């Protein structure tokens, strides 16, 4: 049964973005596709097959269940788990996660001695790949640079572990604070130099996010991780002329009811909107449970029949109202474009983020579980071979 809400994912645009970003890389630099948070809300089961077919060498997720889901849809290449996933008090839960890491051949992130020690206890038939994360200045997860040499020695001293990568993460994704970017890059290079004598051959060094992939080739090293840009959104407006990115998401619903209200009639909870003229109101089955947040009440536009209709009244949990008075031929069943793939429209991801005072990541990641994600782009419709 089809959902009232469909996220149309243009996988041809996704592959276009992948290729546009890849074209900025030197030969031999690998591409890691960030697929955490259900591919930033776009649907990992739709996105992953297209990127796998396009040739992305690695995927990155935040949790073990996310990685297992990628294996289930047939992602056969390395999957880097970014979270400190063994840092749980329950020993049984920790063992279950460790078993999944081994069973599915996942690459674990380590950022302290405890993580190394817990991984080293695993009775694995094959070495477990690990990437050491360094905190170069963001102040979040990551080992302090001064501890890097000892951690590398500890990893290499564990017979069942293989040091496969060393990485870090920039704190200023849009690179407005260029001093911090320069400092983090310098710290990363200094740390790599300090541990270089202890690294095995073939270690993957990576730090570049979307902004660094676009503007900072000296940060590409052996691999890049351009998440936001891969989905078609620029980290900052000044980067738009630098690379041709195409947003891949179009969120649609339909008009489920039309009613005529007289002037002076309340619309929605809290009486935040009162009609000032006879108004043709359309009801749309979408609400804040679906990620169309309450803050868009009386503040957003949707596209209907090529025109724009304002959201009126409070967005509620499952429904909202739009003003169809000036929209021609709109009736029950008429498609409503809630999020437009055209970046120039007032209901694009970027425009909604600006209106909400947030970032595109949050707009797409909030999209809820009732939304059906479908590939409409000609790439990735075929699910990869399913793994048990």
Active site residues: 36, 269
How far is Cα of residue 106 from the mean position of the Cα atoms in its chain?
19
Cα–Cα dist 257/290, whole Å: 19
DSSP character for 332? T
Residue 88 tokens, joined: 């749980």
Which residues in 227-328 belong to E strands, given as ranges? 249-254, 257-261, 279-284, 301-304, 307-312, 320-323
Backbone angle region of 154, left / alpha / beta, with phi > 0 → left and psi within -120 to 50 → alpha: alpha
Strand order in the sheet with 249-254: 257-261, 279-284, 320-323, 307-312, 301-304, 335-339, 249-254, 6-9, 372-375
Q: Specify whether the CB–CB gap between 47 and 249 falls below 8 A.
A: no
Cα–Cα dist 112/47, whole Å: 32
Residue 146 tokens, joined: 């001064």
Q: Exposure of 90 by Cβ count < 10 A (0-12 exposed, 13-18 middle, 19+ buried)?
A: exposed
Residue 85 tokens, joined: 């996933």
């Amino acid at each position: 049964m089809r959902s009232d809400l469909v996220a149309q994912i243009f996988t041809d645009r996704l592959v276009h973005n992948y290729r546009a970003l890849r074209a900025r890389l030197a030969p031999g630099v690998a591409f890691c596709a960030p697929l955490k948070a259900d591919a930033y809300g776009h649907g990992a089961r739709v996105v992953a097959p297209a990127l796998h077919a396009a040739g992305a060498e690695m995927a990155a997720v935040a949790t073990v269940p996310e990685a297992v889901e990628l294996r289930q849809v047939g992602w056969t290449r390395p999957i880097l788990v970014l979270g400190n996933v063994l840092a749980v008090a329950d020993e049984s839960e920790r063992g279950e996660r460790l078993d999944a890491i081994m069973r599915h051949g996942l690459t674990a992130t380590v950022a302290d001695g405890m993580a190394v020690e817990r991984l080293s206890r695993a009775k694995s038939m094959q070495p477990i790949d690990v990437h050491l994360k360094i905190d170069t200045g963001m102040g979040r997860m990551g080992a302090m640079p001064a501890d890097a040499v000892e951690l590398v020695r500890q990893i290499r001293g564990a017979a069942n572990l293989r040091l496969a990568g060393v990485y870090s993460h920039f704190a200023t994704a849009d690179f407005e604070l260029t001093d911090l970017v320069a400092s983090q890059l310098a710290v990363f290079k200094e740390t790599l130099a300090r541990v270089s004598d202890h690294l095995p051959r073939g270690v993957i060094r990576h730090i570049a996010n979307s902004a660094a992939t676009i503007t900072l080739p000296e940060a590409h090293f052996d691999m890049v991780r351009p998440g936001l840009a891969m989905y078609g959104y620029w980290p900052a407006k000044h980067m738009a002329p630098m690379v041709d990115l195409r947003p891949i998401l179009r969120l649609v619903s339909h008009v489920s009811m039309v009613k005529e209200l007289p002037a002076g009639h309340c619309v929605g909870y809290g009486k935040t909107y009162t009609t000032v003229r006879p108004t043709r109101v359309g009801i749309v089955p979408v609400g804040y449970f679906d990620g169309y947040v309450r803050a868009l009440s009386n503040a957003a536009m949707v596209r209907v029949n090529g025109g724009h209709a304002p959201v009126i009244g409070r967005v509620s949990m499952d429904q909202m109202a739009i003003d169809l008075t000036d929209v021609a031929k709109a009736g029950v069943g008429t498609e409503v474009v809630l999020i437009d793939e055209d970046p120039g429209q007032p209901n694009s991801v970027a425009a909604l983020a600006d209106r909400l005072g947030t970032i595109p990541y949050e707009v797409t990641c909030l999209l809820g579980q009732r939304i059906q994600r479908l590939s409409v782009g000609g790439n990735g419709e075929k699910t990869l071979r399913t793994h048990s």
